[in-house]
Structure 1
Amino acid sequence: MEVSNSNQVVLPSMSLDETIEQIIGRFGCSQFMQAILVSVPAFFDAQQTFISIYADAVPKWHCNTFDTSCNPKSNICKLPRNSWSWDEPSHYSIISDWGLECASSFITSLPASSFYIGSLIGGFTLAILGDFCLGRKNLLYLSSLIMSVTALLSAFSTNIWMYSSLRFVSGLSRSSVITCTLILITERIGKRLRSQVGTTAFFSYALGLLSLPAVAYTNRGSSWRILFLYTSIPAIFYYIITYFFVYESPRWLFMQGRDKEAIAILKRIASIEDRILDSYLSNIHHRQEIPKVHPYKSMKDLFKRKWALKRILAAMVIGFGVGVVYFGMLLGMEKEKFIVCLLYNKWHMQHSLCHCRQSVRNSATSLARQAVALGSVFDPVSISIGRRNEFLSFGIFGLTILLCGFFVIVLPETRGKALCNTMDEQESKDSTMV
């Protein structure tokens, strides 16, 4: 770096990624506030993901008469309706509210199943919009807003079918929340603190999960509908207010050819002197022209490259193992929920987005997220086994994560390394290192 007679800093020629790294490399107050604002949607996402634990719960009941025909071990479906009563008011959960105590397990589990099926479908369809159309910010807020609005509408459901349909839409929309949150945070942070600041999303998610029992406790004895109102209305107001204060990823804007918008955002979040900043901004240029490509063609290109396919498959296998253990421990082990939340917050895993190139980062990261969702599909079976044999259930969890964890060896180390903008750039970088 040199200084000319006109007090202008003369910089060597640098690539786009190198220039952005110099501008945002120092973590400033603006970047911190942006990370906090963007991580809050993960808080509300956790609440909607696990709200079915309370809204869809089977309430406890007691006998109205003290005779041999009714006892705590009796099947209430074979008892006269006037011989037993719910411990809580009938509007406590959807089971007692709609008289589903004798319905099949398919019907009673339909809302939760619909939510996770929606998450699976949404993960494969919405992620591409974040890479090629809407961008990280717009997709994050659109997904979060739809999730919360459908949660609000769920409070006014009149039957199990309407409720399940709304839960499906909620799951469909929330599938991109965590993915967009992580990417939007990390793409605006320098590589030195990228992994540390990225954990704010996981911390926010853990707080949302821990807040749900407190909300349910406050709502004890009240209708399950109030629980949806408590968790959806604050979220809707938050999204509407903060949308105008959150910045789009400048890296994504450069990839879309929207240089003026990207430079304006870099000026707001940069933490270096104005004189040096102006020199860096005037030095910004693309190392190569990046043509517009069809999103599905780019995803096809991702799977055609052996090195990229190997990395994304490894991340998906690891994600599957995490999904089995994470959701299994939270949904099935009632007594250990608080401890498990703290452990996952303490020992977080490095997210797979570090191994994906920017041009398809949203789509590729979503594949790993969907593997996590797929792993959770098998948890009901493990939970059912755990009720009869707790040791066997824990054995399944431990063996699954142990086997899947070995695939970490396949992934390259990304600590302290700059991310490339295209797969061609990454492939060229890898070939020079061999």
Structure 2
Amino acid sequence: MLVLSSLIMSLSSLLTAASPSLLVYAALRSICGFGRATVGTSSLVLSTELVSRRWRDRVSIIGFVCFTIGFLSLPGIAYVVRGESWRVLYVLTAVPSVVYTVVVYLVMRESPRWLLLKGRRDEAIETIRKMTAKGRDDMVSCSFSNLGILLEHDESARDTSDNIFSSAKKLWQNRWAFRRLTALMTVSFGVGMVYYGMPLNLGNLSSNLYLSVALNALTELPSSLFVFCLISRMNRRSSTLAFTAASGLFSIACAAMGGGGGWAEMATELAAFFSACTAFSFVLISSIELFPTCVRNSAIAMVRQALVVGGVVAPVVVAEGRRRRVMSFGVFGLVIGCCGMFAVCLPETRGRGMTDTMEEEEFKDGGG
């Protein structure tokens, strides 16, 4: 999925540079967005399933850091080619994606968890052996062979379904999974409204627009670094509650300032955005840890989709805020604050291992 999604995204973006009309341009951008939507989910799930519990949370945050660095590189690239055609910009941003696709295809391994779950024991053993230091591969082969034998005798622990809707069906039919997914999607919707809406709402501030945009872009980097350094010491549920509440309070404070707040107003807005970015990190990490391998990709995709839906609603709120300031910052604060409270419905996942099947997850904590 990662290779295919990245290939669709990169090639459609590269072809956009040769668009002969607006209609072709719009179609290619839609195809690019379709491919891009799965890249983040697939890379996040795959990277966390390839490492041990000790590194899982930090590896997931590294992805957020790289995303931010990539986002920050865009203004630099655009500035360098500011005198050239917009087609040149598309080529320069698409070529690295093409290279990335080739590198992933040649270097990246399939998730051993997923392979083992699908009954492809030999491939799982071979993958782990290639990832293991020399001198320890025999021990790994022996351990996984024993595990594979156990799974062969426990058909309930294997998932050999080829139905593309099987994951969604499992999430819907299991009450504990549906409850977790609903809570996470609700929190994600509120976070998404602020995450996508706050940068759009900067025009409603009294501060310099260019400076505000630059500072907001830079805010994502310290947010990711903050989570990277402290994730192993912080509870997921309470941290999500705390940062969504903080973002809501700072957003409402921005609305109460009524404009003309200068640096204090900008600092308050940055604090609201920082809190939303940090909450976003905790929501995705919780999503990884709350669902087993057989449905993890689908669950995270739905959580991210709820985030995007929040982003879709945000521009409407921003437009209304141009007439009445409280309708932008105030609504952002109330929505993320109220949606964040649904994190109470989630079990704490700090320090726990990942499961592979629905039965294993249900047995582990009694259904969450």
Alpha-carbon distance in structure 1 between the residues aligned to 2:96 and 2:106: 17
User: SS at the partner of 1:257?
Assistant: coil
Matched, 1:283 2:152: no
Q: Report matched runs for 1:140-151 at 5 Å.
A: 140-151=2-13
User: SS at the partner of 1:413?
Assistant: coil
- The aligned residue for residue 31 of structure 1 is none
Shift of the 223–391 alpha-carbon distance from structure 1 to 2, 3 Å rule, reads: farther
1:311 to 163, 174, 180: 180
Alpha-carbon distance in structure 2 between the residues aligned to 1:417 and 1:219: 48
Give the counterpart letter for 1:376 in structure 2: G
Give the counterpart letter for 2:160 in structure 1: K
For the 8 Å contact 2:184–2:283, the answer to whether it is kept is no
Matched, 1:342 2:183: no
Alpha-carbon distance in structure 2 between the residues aligned to 1:273 and 1:146: 40
User: SS at the partner of 1:419?
Assistant: coil
- The aligned residue for residue 154 of structure 1 is 16
For the 8 Å contact 1:186–1:197, the answer to whether it is kept is yes
For the 8 Å contact 1:210–1:341, the answer to whether it is kept is no
1:408 to 343, 357, 363: 343
Range that drifts further, 277-286 or 209-218: 277-286
Q: Report matched runs for 1:170-249 at 5 Å.
A: 170-249=32-111
For the 8 Å contact 2:117–2:159, the answer to whether it is kept is no
- The aligned residue for residue 357 of structure 2 is 422
* CA-to-aligned-CA distance 1:254-296 (integer Å, 9 cap, x gap): 1122111111111122359526435423432344222523332
Give the counterpart letter for 2:351 in structure 1: G
Matched, 1:379 2:314: yes
Structure 2 spans left out of the alignment, 5+ residues: 203-208, 227-277
Alpha-carbon distance in structure 1 between the residues aligned to 2:322 and 2:16: 30
* CA-to-aligned-CA distance 1:224-281 (integer Å, 9 cap, x gap): 2111111001221231244211111111111122111111111122359526435423
Give the counterpart letter for 1:349 in structure 2: F
- The aligned residue for residue 121 of structure 2 is 259
For the 8 Å contact 2:293–2:355, the answer to whether it is kept is yes
Range that drifts further, 336-345 or 215-224: 336-345
Shift of the 141–297 alpha-carbon distance from structure 1 to 2, 3 Å rule, reads: closer
Give the counterpart letter for 1:369 in structure 2: R
Alpha-carbon distance in structure 1 between the residues aligned to 2:188 and 2:195: 10
User: SS at the partner of 2:335?
Assistant: helix
* CA-to-aligned-CA distance 1:343-374 (integer Å, 9 cap, x gap): 54343324112211111111111110110111
Matched, 1:356 2:291: yes
* Seq. identity, %: 39
* CA-to-aligned-CA distance 1:43-65 (integer Å, 9 cap, x gap): xxxxxxxxxxxxxxxxxxxxxxx
Alpha-carbon distance in structure 1 between the residues aligned to 2:179 and 2:352: 20
For the 8 Å contact 1:195–1:350, the answer to whether it is kept is no
Give the counterpart letter for 1:314 in structure 2: A
Shift of the 165–399 alpha-carbon distance from structure 1 to 2, 3 Å rule, reads: same
Q: Which has the higher helix share?
A: 2
Shift of the 400–343 alpha-carbon distance from structure 1 to 2, 3 Å rule, reads: farther
Give the counterpart letter for 1:206 in structure 2: T
What is the aligned residue count? Answer: 295
For the 8 Å contact 2:125–2:141, the answer to whether it is kept is no
User: SS at the partner of 1:176?
Assistant: helix
TM-score (norm 2): 0.75
Alpha-carbon distance in structure 1 between the residues aligned to 2:179 and 2:295: 16
Give the counterpart letter for 1:310 in structure 2: R
Q: Report matched runs for 1:30-41 at 5 Å.
A: none
1:329 to 189, 198, 221: 198
- The aligned residue for residue 328 of structure 2 is 393
Matched, 1:301 2:170: yes
- The aligned residue for residue 169 of structure 1 is 31
* CA-to-aligned-CA distance 1:382-423 (integer Å, 9 cap, x gap): 222344444542222222211111111111111211222111
- The aligned residue for residue 292 of structure 1 is 160
**Rg larger in structure:** 1
Shift of the 304–282 alpha-carbon distance from structure 1 to 2, 3 Å rule, reads: closer
Alpha-carbon distance in structure 1 between the residues aligned to 2:193 and 2:165: 29
Shift of the 194–146 alpha-carbon distance from structure 1 to 2, 3 Å rule, reads: same
Give the counterpart letter for 2:221 in structure 1: L
Alpha-carbon distance in structure 2 between the residues aligned to 1:391 and 1:152: 42
For the 8 Å contact 1:357–1:420, the answer to whether it is kept is yes
